Structure 1
Amino acid sequence: MTWISVILLALVAFAIAAVVFRLDRSLWTSLAAALVFGLAGYAWQANPDLASAPKSAERTANEGDFDIVEQRREFIAERERSRANGLITADAMARRGRYVEASEFLSGVTNENPRDLESWLALGNVLVEHSDGVLTAPALYAYRQAATLAPAHPGAGYFLGVALIRQGRFMEARGIWAEALANAPEDAAGREGLEERLNRLDGMLGAMGELQATQGGPPVAAPTE
């Protein structure tokens, strides 16, 4: 069971780097080799029974977390930006890894103005980060509120897909991204980036399918429109 979790974690790490961070395709092979090397090191030295260290209550952006504030702004046009002071404070908290405090500020903003699209997206993002990438019910609710406010907006679908990728649910993420792209207007903020990431995800899924076919394993389901 431990090995299954470790391999899934490696796949998720590859997906995040290749798809979310848009790592150049020429470096995919090098990244895969590094992950395989890491798995070999785990097999040699790992001790699953070793007690874990306590987790720090606060993290900073330079510890490897991607900037959820900048990612959100990629999907928010100027006319859609929130003017709430609470969002500014929440962004500062989120960049310091203080996701609980950020969610409290954002909850205040959305309670005061339930039509604040950007704050709903920000709330979903900080709730996912607080749960270390797990898509919790409150985060899903925040994304659904954003989608209800703007059904054709790609932001909620994109971030929901990212959360699913971080859980290894690649085909679910692929379906949500494809639907979000199909519904988004041509001039929607972030649409071009979403399309590129969807193509990258398809490429990764295709490579995984080819590898499994070569090794005689069950094939990965082919992406469908």
Structure 2
Amino acid sequence: MKWQPVLAVAIALAAGLGGYAMVGRPGLQSAPAPRFQPNPDLTPQAEQASKALLDNFGDVRAWLTLSDALIRAKRTESAVAALQSALEAIPGNADLWVQMGVALVAHADGEVVPAARLAFDRAARLSPEHPAPSYFLGLAWLQSAEVDRALETWRALQARSAPDAPWRPLLDRQIVVAETMKQMGVGQGMMPQPGMAAQGESAR
């Protein structure tokens, strides 16, 4: 399975909260329209996505574009609400579950809260080879000072990622950060200092 290069931005979000657009795979089935009427009045891309959803509520790519625009505008609560509507219509799409997890992480200022963890777990069950759930699972372990588990999760992702995968540089830097934290004794009776888990991604 080949993911779009913008997946790297999803990984960067966990550290820098700089925004994320998980461009989905084409050819997805449409779904009947529930209640949500998106009108974010943001970027031209978001407006176009909003109009696309009025014509086809099952347009996954439009949902991802819209929710990304809301996250970038720091309207994370609206992004979560929009994705809840999307998942009511299309509950079996892994990219939407990843995006829901990302929106929840953004809403929690970078913390992988239990609701986000559940969203990533659901995405991983739907698409086991999807890289984003493994990345965020590793981040959750790191935030809990479970450095060895974070490294185990990230090294497994690293091993199954192509050398030129767009998320590899970011993943590799986070592994270095985790290794440094381990050397400092984190996970052995020492809790991580605020921002330590993210400092490897602060410069983008």
Q: What TM-score comes out, normalization by structure 2 length?
A: 0.56
Distance 1:197 1:136, change over 3 A: closer
Q: What TM-score comes out, normalization by structure 1 length?
A: 0.52
Residues 1:97 and 2:79 are matched in the alignment: no
Q: Select 1:115's aligned residue among 92, 95, 99.
A: 92
Count of matched residue pairs: 149
Distance 1:161 1:111, change over 3 A: same
Structure with more relative contact order (C-alpha pairs < 8 Å, separation 6 or more): 2
Distance 1:197 1:187, change over 3 A: same
Aligned to 2:153: 176
**More moved, 141-150 vs 170-179:** 170-179
Query: In 1, Cα distance between the equivalents of 2:26 and 2:173?
Result: 24
Query: In 1, Cα distance between the equivalents of 2:109 and 2:70?
Result: 16
Higher helix proportion:
1
Aligned to 2:175: 198
- Flag as ranges the 4+ runs of structure 1 deviating above 6 A: 76-82, 217-220
Do 1:146 and 1:156's aligned partners in 2 also have CA atoms closer than 8 Å?
yes
RMSD after superposition: 3.8
Distance 1:65 1:183, change over 3 A: closer
What residue identity is the alignment partner of 1:102?
A
% of aligned pairs identical? 26
Gaps of 5+ in 2: 1-10, 29-58, 192-204
Cα deviation 1:71-107 (Å, max 9, x = unaligned): x65xx68779984322222111111222111011112
Gaps of 5+ in 1: 1-19, 22-60, 221-225
